[in-house]
């Protein structure tokens, strides 16, 4: 099915409405009696933690988006439901993370969000919506129509003249080569004339990507690895659309387009993911990875 610009605009409004409703629910959910459970997927604590809030947020989102699936013949891929592989048959599918960054949510720190994307069967992100309940900030984009932050046009630009920011995951702190990569990132910053290096370590993948633009010049990456993990399609689909429309850089660790509709897995471990506020930084991080790698 072909989607017109009007169709994409209407679908984006539906996604924004769903993200707002879920985000409002998340922001007002009492953590006092929160039940934290563990999933068997992923190696890190952040990948394993799940709560009833994740599931209830997904229900709210699907109440809004289910009618669009019938009207536009869309498939669904959501973190808290089994992948029925309809995404491989339909022309487009919703790709939903109802609570990205569950770990920071349970810790009551910034870094959690609602992430909703519309992706083509070929893996092209058409719509990206990320809502941060903590700061009440909405990031959204439609392919070919630009990126927006709280409804205002948003493009990548440096917000600091002396500091380079490295956004990463808590799990990466335990990596045996973390210190090597940290020094390599600091050297990249210095090579571009930035005296200081700021490290942000607390968010889920969606907010980490947004923070690359919020704290530019900056980068965020997930290393390729042979075992499953390294984030899933729903962790990166929405931010990939936003980055492309914000004139920023998003790719795998080899500079190729993210495979956002993998046939064999929903994980992105095979080639990793890389976000950078500009092309020069992306190429420098790729060169760093080529030099250091990810030995197991």
- The pLDDT tens digits of the residues spanning 91-122 come to 999 999 999 998 899 888 999 999 999 999 99
Instruction: Dig out the tokens for 40 from the structure.
Output: 């068997």
d(CA 204, CA 101): 4
* pLDDT given for residue 29 in this prediction: 85
d(CA 95, CA 79): 8
CB-based contacts of 53: which residues, under 8 Å, 6+ apart? 25, 26, 29, 34, 99, 102, 105
Instruction: Dig out the tokens for 214 from the structure.
Output: 């919020």
d(CA 95, CA 100): 12
Instruction: Please state, for a pLDDT cut of 70, what percent of the chain lies above it.
Output: 93
Instruction: Dig out the tokens for 78 from the structure.
Output: 């959501």
Residue for token pair 């949510």: 105
Pairing of strands 218-222, 273-276: antiparallel
- The pLDDT tens digits of the residues spanning 6-22 come to 999 999 999 999 999 99
Mean pLDDT of all residues in 22-38? 78
The secondary structure of residue 257, as a DSSP letter, is P
* pLDDT given for residue 70 in this prediction: 96
Instruction: Dig out the tokens for 207 from the structure.
Output: 């907010």
Q: Which residue has the higher pLDDT, 25 or 50?
A: 25
* pLDDT given for residue 33 in this prediction: 65
Say whether pLDDT at 38 is over 80: no
d(CA 180, CA 176): 9
d(CA 243, CA 264): 25
List, in order of start, the domains of the chain with CATH numbers: 5-153 (3.30.540.10), 163-292 (3.40.190.80)
CB-based contacts of 149: which residues, under 8 Å, 6+ apart? 137, 138, 139
């Amino acid at each position: 099915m072909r989607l017109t610009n009007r169709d994409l605009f209407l679908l984006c409004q539906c996604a924004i409405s769903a993200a707002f409703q879920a985000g409002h629910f998340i922001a007002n959910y009492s953590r006092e009696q929160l039940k934290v459970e563990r999933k068997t997927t992923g190696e890190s604590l952040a990948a394993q933690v799940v709560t009833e809030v994740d599931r209830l947020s997904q229900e709210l989102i699907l109440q809004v988006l289910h009618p669009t699936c019938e009207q536009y013949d869309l498939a669904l891929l959501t973190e808290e439901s089994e992948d029925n592989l309809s995404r491989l048959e339909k022309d487009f599918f919703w790709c939903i993370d109802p609570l990205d960054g569950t770990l920071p949510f349970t810790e009551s720190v910034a870094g959690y969000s609602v992430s909703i994307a519309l992706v083509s069967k070929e893996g092209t992100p058409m719509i990206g919506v990320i809502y941060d309940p903590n700061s009440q900030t909405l990031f959204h984009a439609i392919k070919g129509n630009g990126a927006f932050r709280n409804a205002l046009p948003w493009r990548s630009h440096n917000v600091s003249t002396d500091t380079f920011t490295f956004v990463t995951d808590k799990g990466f702190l335990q990596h045996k080569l973390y210190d090597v990569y940290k020094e390599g990132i600091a050297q990249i910053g210095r090579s571009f004339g930035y005296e200081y290096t700021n490290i942000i370590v607390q968010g889920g993948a969606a907010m980490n990507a947004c923070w690359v633009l919020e704290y530019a010049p900056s980068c965020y990456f997930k290393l390729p690895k042979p075992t499953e993990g390294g984030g899933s399609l729903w962790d990166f689909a929405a931010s990939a659309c936003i980055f492309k429309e914000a004139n920023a850089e998003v790719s795998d660790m080899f500079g190729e387009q993210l495979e956002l509709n993998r046939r064999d897995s929903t994980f992105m471990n095979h080639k990793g993911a890389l976000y950078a506020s500009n092309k020069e930084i992306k190429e420098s991080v790729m060169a760093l990875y080529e030099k250091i790698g990810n030995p197991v």
